[in-house]
Amino acid sequence: MKVSLPDRLAEYQAALGYVVKAGSSSTLQAAQSELVKGLGGLLGQTVSVSDQPKADGAVVLGTPDSSTIVKSLSLGNALTAVGNEGYVVQATTTGGYQAIVVAANTDVGVLRGCFALLRHLQCHRTVQSLSLSEAPKIQHRILDHWDNLDGSIERGYAGKSLWNWSSLPATISQRYTDYARANASIGINGVVLNNVNADSQILTSSYLDKVAALATAFRPYGIAVYLSAQFGAPKQIGGLSTADPLDSAVKLWWATEANTIYQKIPDFGGFLVKADSEGQPGPADYGRTHADGANMLVSALASHGGIVMWRAFVYKDDGTDRIGQAYKEFKPLDGKFSSGVVVQVKNGPLDFQPREPFSPLFGAMPSTPLGLELQITKEYLGEDTHLVYLGPLYEEVLKSDTYAKSQGSTVARVIDGTVHGYTTTAIAGVANVGSDTNWTGSHFNQANWYVFGRMAWNPDISAQDVADEWIRQTFTNDPAFVTPVTTMMMGSRQTTVNYMTPIGLAHIMGTDDHYGPAPWVNNLSQADWNPVYFHKADATGIGFDRTATGSNSVSQYAATVRDKFASRSTIPDDFLLFFQHVGWDDKLSSSGRSIWNELVYRYSYGVDSVGTMRDSWTGVQGYIDAKRFKDVGDFLQTQHYEARWWRDACLVYFAGVSKHTIPSGYATPAHDLAYYQNLMDKCPSDVTKPRCPDVYSGNPSPAILQ
């Protein structure tokens, strides 16, 4: 194994030789300990803690209040600019000695500065004339756990829940602390502990003691605890006969509940709520609106400083286009939500697909703070097994222009408050973390946790830069590894789109588990649970007409966006079948291929691209440890088989519907439709990996033959 010492080692040893003792708060002590540990590991030597600067190479950390040295450096303007959570890291001199100062206005800002410094060093960047300074653009940067109280995780693919409810509050696992450290290092400042499909038991006194113990473990790291609140709790555990948000007994119940919570957890963050959605109770059960429900809850929390994140993920079987429903329900409520409510909107109007357009709610609610909900756990993107780096997906969403006010009203600018002047700003990621040793089920899924945090802190950072820094910190700085692996990660999301849902297809996954291909499914009780509802393939063509000749959901976007998606000549290929029904033999102007041929090409190219990823990975053998090298290689092999499974199953099905055949130059699907339909039935969601080992034996052959 090649391990090259950084060229910078001598520079680092001279500049960062020892740490000057930090203040005594638990956060500053945590920051000091991260520096001592991190620098020790990087420099390969024990890093001492000194009471005072005593030679060149001091690392000084603190706030003007906690450190006389920081105070004496008169960082005034620089500190003012970074607010409550930001930091200033600078090369300077103190007492005649060269030093690096990590300064902030708050202890937690200092902690973030220490992590920024360590990141800088792990990427082997110079510390000469060092000057780093940053503040987060979004206030609430939250991980949403979909963890159940029985230890299972909805859409979790990395083992069991980290929270061991039965041993809490007495036992505080080291993993809780390590989890908090990891989150703090990427700027996350809140976690929702439990599933949005919430169990009201979490609001009972004995569970709140457990929640308080976790809050205590996370507090030094600047991480607040939030809970998913079950809207029906007043009935389920409160002994009331109603959960009507306008009922005075219900209001009192929630106010009392909030008081109890804040007695136990003074810095409790607030509630996340899934109401009137997928069978969950909500205000509509009593003829009330989402605003009535959210406002009642926030009035219980607001005096304590808590917020309510009210989810906009709603749809029902009412015969209208599913993707238009959230807008129809929420847009009329704009301006009706009380201060302290954030309406939390999934990135797309459907549901965490490999690709979908941004939700039309972004830009359409000027008087209601909207938070962005991204999914980190890859429910629809190969779960734990497939290597899909989500940075490009997040970047695509954040950069999407809503044209709410003018050009440049991107989703990033909407959620950071720039466009509409929101006073509360929030972003949430549905966590992919579990009890697995590597936290996330696969090594590369760690990159998705990482990029979520980095983009939540700074929505303008590029996916490529984050991939680069993640690789350097996780594996090695050797360019022979960094360059091909960055390329592999950056292409991985488009590759998955190609072999699962190319040119705007969506939601054609297997029922419930959402893992394998099942475009033929048409027998589920609710229309919009069926893949056929979404692709609308028939003898004439394929795609969902959402223009004026169809559902007209496209009209929910600002005119510039609407017109682009509605016209055949301007819609990007990536969204074509999401918005338009197109003849099988219509030509794409970009490639000159017919729709049918384009589908064959994209599906096939997707499979072959996984082959290329495998080749890239094989090429970096020896640069990292054998264990992780093998783990990743094994998953890539499974992904290659399953990409071929996706391609063959979808093409054999669409070939049948369209009465087209596979053009020459492409491999024919390995089996007939019945085989894949039968396979789906044989691959329930809980089978161990690889999910469908019998799809192919040996390596899949190339899908594009010439």
CB nearer to ligand BDP: give 163 or 352.
352
How many Å apart are CA 160 and CA 35, to the nearest integer?
A: 31
**CB-nearer residue toward ligand BDP: 218 or 352:** 352
Q: How many residues bind ligand BDP (CB under 6 A)?
A: 10
Q: Is 155 in the site for ligand BDP (CB under 6 A)?
A: yes
Q: Establish if 313 lies at the interface with ligand BDP (CB under 6 A).
A: yes
Residue 352 as a binder of ligand BDP (CB under 6 A): the answer is yes
Smallest CA-to-CA distance from 653 within 522, 503, 550 is with: 522
The verdict on 513 binding ligand BDP (CB under 6 A) reads no
Among 351, 356, 469, 598, which residue interacts with ligand BDP (rule: CB under 6 A)?
351
Selection from 429, 436, 374, 428 nearest residue 162 by Cα: 436
Return the sign of the alpha-carbon dihedral for residues 225, 226, 230, 234: positive
Rounded CA separation 519/506 (Å)? 10
CB of 550 to ligand BDP, least distance (A): 24
Query: Is the four-CA dihedral 600, 603, 605, 607 of positive or negative sign?
Result: negative
Minimum distance between the CB of residue 512 and ligand BDP, rounded to whole angstroms?
8
Is the separation of the CB atoms in 506 and 350 below 8 Å?
yes
**Is residue 235 involved in binding ligand BDP (CB under 6 A)?**
no
- DSSP-assigned states of every residue in 390-447: -HHHHHHHHH-B--SSSTT-BHHHHHTTTTT--SS-EEEEE----SSTTSSSSTTHHH
Which of these, 231, 328, 330, 326, lies nearest to 272 by C-alpha position?
231
When asked if residue 524 is in the footprint of ligand BDP (CB under 6 A), the reply is no
> CB of 518: closest distance to ligand BDP in angstroms?
14
384 binds ligand BDP (CB under 6 A): no
Residue linked to tokens 């972003």: 427
94/200 with CB nearer ligand BDP: 200
Nearer to ligand BDP, 374 or 695 (CB): 374
Catalytic, out of 278, 465, 585, 625: 278
CA distance 243 to 583: 50
The answer to whether the CB of 142 falls within 8 A of the CB of 191 is: yes
Q: Does 154 bind ligand BDP (CB under 6 A)?
A: yes
Say if residues 385 and 685 touch (Cβ distance below 8 Å). no
Please answer whether residues 647 and 499 qualify as being in contact, where contact means their C-beta atoms are separated by less than 8 angstroms.
yes
Closest to 236 (Cα-Cα) out of 195, 273, 281:
281
Query: Closest CB to ligand BDP among 147 and 351?
Result: 351
Nearer to ligand BDP, 196 or 411 (CB): 196
Residues ≥6 apart with Cβ < 8 Å to 587: 593, 594, 595
The least distance separating ligand BDP from the CB of residue 705, rounded to whole angstroms, comes to 37
Which residue has the CB atom at the shortest distance from ligand BDP? 351
Q: Which is nearer to ligand BDP, 351 or 416 (CB)?
A: 351
Q: Is 351 a catalytic residue?
A: yes
| Structure token digits, residue 378 | 């890859």
Contact 299, 251 (CB under 8 A): yes
Q: How far apart are CB 353 and ligand BDP at their closest, in Å?
A: 9
Of 105 and 194, nearer to ligand BDP (C-beta) is: 194
CB 245 within 8 A of CB 287: no
Nearer to ligand BDP, 274 or 564 (CB): 274
Please confirm, yes or no, whether 631 is among the known catalytic residues.
Answer: no
Distances (CA, A) of 414 to 105, 367, 533, 563, 660: 27, 11, 31, 21, 44
User: Applying CB under 6 A, which of residues 379, 401, 468, 513 lies at the interface with ligand BDP?
Assistant: 379
Angle (nearest 5°) at CA 23 between 22 and 25: 125
322 binds ligand BDP (CB under 6 A): no
Q: How far is the CB of 178 from ligand BDP (least distance, A)?
A: 27
As measured in angstroms, the least distance from the Cβ of 400 to ligand BDP is 20
Within 270-299, the residues that bind ligand BDP by CB under 6 A are 274, 278
- C-beta contacts of 104-107 below 8 A and 24+ residues apart: 104/63, 104/79, 105/63, 105/64, 105/79, 106/63, 107/23, 107/25, 107/27, 107/28, 107/31, 107/63, 107/66
Distance CA 530, CA 510 (A): 9
CB of 666 to ligand BDP, least distance (A): 33
Does residue 702 contact residue 603 with C-beta atoms inside 8 Å? Answer: no
What span, in angstroms and rounded, lies between the C-alpha atoms of 647 and 498? 9
Shortest gap between Cβ of 492 and ligand BDP (angstroms)? Answer: 21
Q: State the catalytic residue, choosing from 356, 379, 384, 469.
A: 379
- Residue 147: what residue type? D
User: Is residue 257 flagged as an active site residue?
Assistant: no
Cβ-based nearer residue to ligand BDP, 140 or 155 = 155
CB 383, min distance to ligand BDP, A: 12
By CB under 6 A, name the one of 29, 122, 197, 462 that touches ligand BDP. Answer: 197
Q: Residue 272 or residue 613: which is nearer to ligand BDP going by CB?
A: 272
- Kindly state the smallest distance separating residue 280's Cβ from ligand BDP, in Å: 8
Q: Which is nearer to ligand BDP, 345 or 651 (CB)?
A: 345
Using CA atoms, how far apart are residues 245 and 293, in angstroms rounded to an integer? 5
Q: Mapping DSSP to helix (H, G, I), strand (E, B) and coil, where does residue 317 land?
A: coil
**Cβ distance to ligand BDP smaller for residue 461 or 521:** 521
- Beta bridge mates, 20: 50, 60
Taking the CB of residue 172, how many other CB atoms lie within 10 A of it?
15
Burial 148-165 (b: 16+ CB within 10 A, else e): bbebebebbbbbbbbbbb
How far is it, in rounded angstroms, from Cα 350 to Cα 205?
A: 37
Catalytically annotated residue among 351, 401, 598, 642: 351
Residues counted in the chain: 706
Q: Quick one: which of 197, 286, 206, 290 has its CA closest to 241? A: 286
Contacts of 662 by beta carbon, 8 Å cutoff, 6+ apart: 600, 651, 655, 668, 669
Q: Measured from the CB of residue 686, what is the shortest distance to ligand BDP in angstroms?
A: 15
Tokens at 5, concatenated: 């010492």
The two three-digit tokens of residue 37, written as one number: 């540990």
- State in angstroms the smallest separation of the CB of 379 from ligand BDP: 6
Radius of gyration of the chain (CA): 26
Per the CB < 8 A criterion, the answer to whether 491 and 362 are in contact is no
Number of DSSP helices (H) and strands (E) in the chain, helices first: 22, 16
Residues that bind ligand BDP in the complex, under the rule CB under 6 A: 154-155, 196-197, 274, 278, 313, 351-352, 379
| Catalytically active residues, by annotation | 278, 351, 379
